[in-house]
């Protein structure tokens, strides 16, 4: 504004230019607020989802008199459509434990595979190979999970059954976790590769100057330096595994009682919600129970992602990029 | 600059008008065309109404959800129904399960709940509370076939043995003359009518009201998933409706004959054995509607249920593997 007045244009044009400028400023202000509100929308959505889940879920204890203790300790999660709290046999512990086992199994397979691939493409591979593998991993991340489930059903389940006899004819938490790991791996590769790339080049040069070979440089210098980024990658992979639905519906086996080890057939939280929601009539106990399960699931993934983000932020600050 | 802006604004103001005009013209044109079209269709059917195969004056929208056992029948029925009643719009079911269908019915999301079990009292009171009067239409009969791996040596089971296996009281195939070691039980999940039917009309009927499924059952999302699981598991057992047996290649699973008790002969489920009631695990299939469909204001709904009960509809059910009720 100030500069336009200094230039002193002819009187008639001055008024008009100020007017258009004012209109432009108004437009800019409007646009800014619009963009700001879309940003805020994500927060509103997040809080809204949690409030909705909690409000619908807490009805179970407040209005419908289902004992809180029973909800957290009962050893089975049967999603029958009933309005009688005595008939309703639903505890959140079996699905929660099943989710824990499957997530653990996912990490057992995904961490070594993901980190080794990331170390290879970041430090060893030719840039062209790196690009190839990285784009292949990203394509893998885009494959619908139902496809993974079918591949798992055709290739993994019969082998687990024949060689180990685990679960229900090969359907088990371990089988599901193994297949889910292929969904988590691309995420882990991508983020830990970024983290290793972000390690300042003088770290690496110093390591080699001190006589490290590649393995020593990666294992003793680069990975420790990038550890927070790697941890974040693992956490995000974990959140992905906790929330995965289609694969576990098909491959985890569907036993709704408490699983004692990962080789058993089980039904995690996402699959329980998917299987039970058809029965969730407005008045039934299933509906709030599944909402409550959803709230717990949401908090779990929320916490994991939050931790991952905090760690990533720390890594960014550390190397100033 | 100014000129340009004015021109742009003018064209902006003008273009919706243009669009509207075009739209209006287009609509008129289409209306004229369809009017001609329906005239063409109506005249022949009006002229020989005695041999009319189409009933275009019956309209309405019918939504269905529910049992995956009834699913193949309803889908086939919709196809045939559409040939005679082209103007009734039917939203086909996805076959999520009887429980899912009844829930959708209670929540007023569908007009018909297809079910492989009778509505429970709890569900009936939920429906009444929602302002509905559930009306039961018995459409077909079905048997629940007991399926095992083709290599299993089990030759027959009694009704009570089936109940005990699913209740977890018989734990090993050797106890009933079968092979494969410890029994792996596959069931449908809680949305399924077969799941509830097995619990109430087999386990509780044979063993008492306080009994229920073993806690170690593997709940499968649908019948094909369970059949596939049994076809790959030498120790497995699963149940499926007669109409679902066609969903897996023949020879992949073995259907075990079931006897009423130890002194009766084992019976293989089939149309004949369901009809003469010699197969012990047979059950009715239902459509549930809000009030008597023959008095429904929705002409499409009335026509659809009538069609299911007609000779054509019943014959269609028998082609799929169910048993007609007439």
**Burial of B224 from C-beta contacts in 10 A (0-12 / 13-18 / 19+):** middle
Token output for B99: 């429980």
The pTM (predicted TM-score) of the whole model is 0.79
Instruction: Tell me the pLDDT band of A15, cut-offs 50, 70 and 90.
Output: low
Give which of B320, B260, B258, B253 is closest to B285, Cα–Cα: B320
Would strands B184-188 and B217-220 be described as parallel, antiparallel, or unpaired?
parallel
Instruction: Tell me the pLDDT band of A11, cut-offs 50, 70 and 90.
Output: low
Residue A193's pLDDT is 92
| Chain B contact probe: residue of A163, A259, A281 with most B CBs at under 10 A | A281
> Class of A93-319 per CATH?
mainly alpha
Token output for B25: 């013209």
Report pLDDT digits (tens) over A28-62. 899 999 999 998 998 999 899 989 998 999 999 98
Numbered residues of chain A with Cβ closer than 8 Å to any chain B Cβ = 75-76, 78-84, 87, 153, 157-158, 161, 168-171, 249-250, 253-257, 265, 267, 274-276, 278-284
Are the beta carbons of B70 and B244 closer than 8 angstroms? no
Average pLDDT, chain A: 88
Residue B242's pLDDT is 85
- Residue B157, chain A, CB below 8 Å: the answer is no
Residue B249's pLDDT is 84
pLDDT in tens, chain B (326 residues): 444 444 444 444 444 444 444 444 444 444 444 444 333 333 333 333 333 466 667 888 999 999 988 988 999 999 999 988 988 999 999 888 899 999 999 999 999 999 999 999 989 999 999 999 999 999 999 999 999 999 999 999 999 999 999 999 999 999 999 888 999 999 998 888 899 899 989 999 999 989 999 999 999 988 889 999 999 999 999 999 888 888 888 888 999 999 998 888 999 998 889 888 899 999 999 999 998 888 888 888 999 999 999 999 999 988 888 888 87
Instruction: Tell me the pLDDT band of A210, cut-offs 50, 70 and 90.
Output: very high
Residue A16's pLDDT is 60
Residue B286's pLDDT is 94
Residue A83's pLDDT is 85
Are the beta carbons of A244 and A274 closer than 8 angstroms? no
- Which residue ranges make up each domain of chain A? 11-63, 93-319
Q: Which residues contact B273 (CB under 8 A, 6 or more apart)?
A: B143, B267, B279, B282
CA distance B187 to chain A (A): 9
Residue B20's pLDDT is 42
Q: Which residues of A touch B106 (CB under 8 A)?
A: 281-283
Residue B105's pLDDT is 93
């Amino acid at each position: 504004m100030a500069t336009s007045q200094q230039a002193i244009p002819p009187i008639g044009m001055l008024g008009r230019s100020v007017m258009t400028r004012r209109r432009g400023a108004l437009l800019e202000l409007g646009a800014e607020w619009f963009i700001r509100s879309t940003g805020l929308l994500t927060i509103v959505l997040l809080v809204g989802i949690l409030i909705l889940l909690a409000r619908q879920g807490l009805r179970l204890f407040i209005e419908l008199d289902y004992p809180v203790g029973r909800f957290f300790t009962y050893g089975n999660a049967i999603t029958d459509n009933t309005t009688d709290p005595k008939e309703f046999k639903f505890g959140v512990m079996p699905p929660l434990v099943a989710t824990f086992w499957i997530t653990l199994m996912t990490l057992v397979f995904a961490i070594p595979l993901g980190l080794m691939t990331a170390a290879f493409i970041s430090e060893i591979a030719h840039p062209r190979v790196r690009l190839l593998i990285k784009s292949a991993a990203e394509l893998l991340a885009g494959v619908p999970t139902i496809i993974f489930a079918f591949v798992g059903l055709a290739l993994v389940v019969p082998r687990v059954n024949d060689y180990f006899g685990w679960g229900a004819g090969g359907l088990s938490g371990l089988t599901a976790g193994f297949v889910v790991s292929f969904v988590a791996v691309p995420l882990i590769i991508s983020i830990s590769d970024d983290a290793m790339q972000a390690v300042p080049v003088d770290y690496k040069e110093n390591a080699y100057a001190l006589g490290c070979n590649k393995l020593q440089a990666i294992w003793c210098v680069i990975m420790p330096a990038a550890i927070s980024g790697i941890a974040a990658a693992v956490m995000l992979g974990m959140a992905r595994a906790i929330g995965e639905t289609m694969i576990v519906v098909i491959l985890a086996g569907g036993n709704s009682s408490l699983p004692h080890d990962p080789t058993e057939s089980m039904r995690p939280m996402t699959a329980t919600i998917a299987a039970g929601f058809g029965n969730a009539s407005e008045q039934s106990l299933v509906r709030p129970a599944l909402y409550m399960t959803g709230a717990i699931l949401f908090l779990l993934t929320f916490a994991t992602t939050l931790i991952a983000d905090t760690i990533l932020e720390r890594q960014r600050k550390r190397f100033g990029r | 600059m100014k000129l340009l802006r004015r021109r742009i604004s003018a064209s902006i103001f003008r273009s919706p008008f243009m669009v509207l005009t075009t739209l209006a013209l287009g609509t008129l044109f289409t209306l004229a065309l369809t009017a001609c079209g329906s005239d063409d269709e109506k005249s022949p059917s009006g002229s020989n109404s005695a041999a009319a195969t189409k009933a275009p004056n019956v309209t309405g929208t019918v939504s269905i959800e529910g049992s995956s056992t009834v699913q193949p029948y309803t889908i086939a029925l919709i196809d045939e129904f559409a040939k005679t009643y082209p103007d009734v719009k039917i939203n086909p079911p996805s076959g999520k399960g009887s429980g899912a269908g009844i829930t959708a019915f209670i929540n007023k999301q569908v007009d018909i709940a297809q079910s492989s079990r009778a509505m429970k009292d709890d569900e009936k009171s939920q429906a009444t509370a929602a302002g509905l009067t559930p009306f039961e239409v018995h459409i077909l009969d079905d048997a629940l076939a007991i399926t095992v791996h083709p290599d299993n040596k089990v030759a027959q089971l009694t009704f009570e043995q089936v109940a005990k296996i699913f209740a977890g009281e018989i734990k090993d195939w050797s106890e009933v003359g079968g092979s494969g070691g410890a029994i792996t039980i596959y069931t449908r999940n809680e949305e399924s009518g077969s799941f509830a039917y097995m619990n109430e009309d087999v386990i509780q009927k044979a063993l008492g009201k306080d009994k229920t499924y073993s806690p170690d059952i593997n709940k499968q999302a649908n019948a094909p998933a369970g059949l596939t699981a049994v076809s790959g598991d030498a120790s497995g057992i699963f149940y499926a409706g007669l109409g679902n047996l066609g969903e897996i290649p023949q020879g992949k699973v073995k259907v075990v004959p079931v006897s009423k008790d130890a002194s009766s002969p084992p019976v293989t489920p089939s149309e004949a054995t369901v009809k003469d009631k010699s197969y012990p695990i047979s059950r009715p299939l239902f459509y549930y509607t809000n009030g008597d469909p023959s008095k429904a204001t929705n002409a499409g709904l009335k026509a659809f249920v009538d069609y299911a009960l007609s000779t054509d509809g019943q014959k269609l059910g028998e082609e799929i593997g169910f048993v007609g009720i007439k």
